[in-house]
Amino acid sequence: MCGIVGFTGSTQAAPILLDGLSKLEYRGYDSAGIAVRDGEKDTEVVKAKGKLKVLKEMTNNGDAVKGDCGIGHTRWATHGEPSALNAHPHSSDDENVIAVHNGIIENYQELKEKLVKSGYSFNSQTDTEVAVKLIDYYFKKYGLGPVDSIARAMIRIRGSYALCVMFKDYPGEIYTARKDSPMIIGIANGETYVASDVPAILKYTRNVYYIGNMEIAKLEKGAVTFFNIDREEITKPLTEIKWDAEAAEKGGFEHFMLKEIHEQPKVVRDTINSVIKDGKIDFSDVGLTDEEMQKVSQIYIVACGSAYHVGMAVQYVIEDFTSIPVRVELASEFRYRKMTLVKDSLVIVISQSGETADSLAALREAKAKGIMTLGIVNVVGSSIAREADNVFYTLAGPEISVATTKAYSTQLIAGYLLALQFAVARGEMTEEKCEELLKELYTIPDKIEKILEDKERIQWYANKLAGAKDAFFIGRGIDYAIGLEGSLKMKEISYIHSEAYAAGELKHGPISLIEEGVPVIGVLTQQDLYEKTVSNMVEVKSRGASLMGLTTYGNYSMEDLADFTVYIPQTDCHFAGSLSVIPLQLLGYYVSVAKGYDVDKPRNLAKSVTVE
């Protein structure tokens, strides 16, 4: 997620802005910029693509930009590629309004068309420039000042946003507003600070205001005034921040991984909403048409690591919903196999970063053979996003922890939505059935939140596993695919040797590894396979295994079999993986914590594997 910092006071603003932005670098970004006002003089705007150090060098660490009022931003590209032009701040045509923005404006295209008709021109590819010029439009049309113009714009904008705005006619003042995206305001020694997260201003003050949803704030030197969307002045309590700086960066969580686990309800909801228009799936931004879907005779899903496990789960869903055969391939193997790809097939490449070397090579191999490609990626403007014929952007935001959690979950959601649209486009599912399943999909975020409420029980059980040398995950169908991901989480951050097996394969070798006390985690969410997997769990228990059962509410017989049981809310069986993976993420996390390891930076691993 992007970062925002603002300051107005009696000292030079630029060094403070750059310092605050450096505290937000963990959030991920591709460009940065500042806008600083020196009294009645024009505002100076400096922007640069790349790391913050580029901006620091351009401004001599801020000393070259004079003024005591300013705003700054680190951008994570959503609309428009990473570039100095697309970097914030953005301004109206005459620089009457200058602003920075976090979030996504969903109806920016509609608003842009209205503004073009009113004589505005656009220089960037961003949705932010639309918001800036909409505020400028209302400011000039009604002449009622900053608060009124921002409020009118907020009513028209759909989506999530945090805005910091400067007006030419109001030197020394900053106006901020928010809907769903966070914003915090601090005051100390006659100076006022604003930021999208606590670390940016914690060095300067611990006394802060939290601006509420659909509220506006006017920042002056050492003072702040709050307004509701009806332009009525309101009061807010001052709060003292008690976190230390490192904890503040993690939003109060001990580790980024736990923070990101807790962000999953939001990012899952955002990813669903990104392709749902008026209650129906709309892939116009993805680029894959119904006509193209109708022609597909074979799907290859190509990925590495956790993304490969997503492909394993999605394979079951697509083949259940449609008549299309699906093959899931490890990217590192796919690129070297001399196989003939089926005519009229589709290669789906899944990668959080969009830069995974093997996955990118597999994409290029498919394109060289004339096969249509689709990228499922989380980074706008990444190599896979640029080179694939079509791209489905997951809205997980930047993921700091090496062990993926929220990116994995959004990739699963993307896979479900693809499966549904393929089925409808090909006439293999009715619109009514699709709408029914979409309604169920919308319940997933709330159900994830319910699971997270029970994390203390999982922590208790994880403490018992901390001394384990080996662990095994078993399941059938989608449950097997989720077990693969659970096993990876266990091994990559707790360093316990862990393997996942299709439960029906136990008798073909793996059961020989079962000894007294060895943990076996059974995943049982597919009701038609429940009894079969229970039988496999009985087999390993009779050989001394310690059992954990992960199943849906209602399967209470699991209590009689397993030493520890975790329940997830009931949902359509095709979507159950989005729920069952959450306890497994928590299990891996808490085992690693119990063993005292660096959860966010496991040894020998990198967040993005960009070399072979």
Asked about 2 being catalytic, the answer comes back as yes
Q: What CATH superfamily is the domain 449-612?
A: Glucose-6-phosphate isomerase like protein; domain 1 (3.40.50.10490)
Asked about 434 being catalytic, the answer comes back as no
Which H, E and C letters describe 370-418, residue by residue? Answer: CCEEEEEECCCCCHHHHHCCEEEECCCCCCCCCCCCHHHHHHHHHHHHH
Query: Does the pTM exceed 0.95?
Result: no
- Decide if 274-442 and 449-612 have a common fold: yes
CA atoms of 135 and 176, how far apart (whole Å):
12
Domain ranges of the chain: 3-249, 274-442, 449-612
CA atoms of 340 and 63, how far apart (whole Å):
61
CA atoms of 408 and 308, how far apart (whole Å):
10
Report helix angle 128-142 to 146-156, nearest 10.
130
Walk along the chain (612 residues) in steps of 10 and give the mean pLDDT of each run. 87 94 72 90 88 88 93 81 84 93 88 94 89 95 96 91 94 91 88 88 87 91 96 90 61 87 95 93 94 97 96 98 97 86 94 86 92 91 85 86 93 98 97 96 97 93 93 96 97 94 88 89 96 93 93 94 96 97 97 91 59 40
**What CATH fold (topology level) applies to the domain 274-442?**
Rossmann fold (3.40.50)
Q: Point out the catalytic residue in the list 2, 164, 304, 573.
A: 2
Does 3.40.50.1400 match the CATH number of domain 3-249?
Answer: no
Report helix angle 577-594 to 444-452, nearest 10.
30
**DSSP element (H, E) containing 45:** strand 43-49
Q: Point out the catalytic residue in the list 236, 491, 541, 607.
A: 607
Phi, psi of 243 (to 5 degrees): -70, 155
